[in-house]
Amino acid sequence: MRDNRTEGPAIPSSSGRPWWAANETLAFLVELVALACLFRWGFTLGDGLAVQLLLGTGVLAVAIALWGTFAAPRARIRLPLAGVLAVKAVVLGGGAYGLYEVGHPAAAVVMAVVVVANTGLAETFRRRPGPTA
């Protein structure tokens, strides 16, 4: 089975594709928010400032390493689509979970819905159209 992610971007530029560019911008912002939420959640896990900073930074570093290695557009290791989506679920879903754990359940639900919709649209936009008959 062929993985379309390894063939290069389906849409090489955003000119003439404002919906694609808007969704990619939203994806980047969601990623940043998820990382901030993971740091905040990790920060709340410890007692004492040094431990809180260590845990917050540690959770953030693990998320960044996972994302950069497996889910980023120029990831070092190319996984099949299911693997990329699993990493995205861990990092982006972890951000929503972290938001919930720090006391913002409604915002966590909104974030989770945005993550699912944005990721679904992004993967749909990245697919090349099938061959025409």
* Domain boundary assignment for the chain: 16-126
| SS3 of the chain: helix, strand, coil, percent, to 5 | 75, 0, 25
- Give residue-wise pLDDT tens across range 46-90: 899 999 999 999 999 999 999 999 999 899 999 998 999 999 999
Tell me: pLDDT of 3 over 90.
Answer: no
- Output the six-digit token pair for 39: 């740091």
Cα–Cα distances in angstroms (integers) from residue 129 to residues 9, 52, 132, in the given order: 12, 48, 8
If pLDDT is split at 50, 70 and 90, which confidence band does 20 have?
A: confident
- From 116, 84, 58, select the one nearest 6 (Cα to Cα): 84
Q: What's the predicted TM-score (pTM) here?
A: 0.79
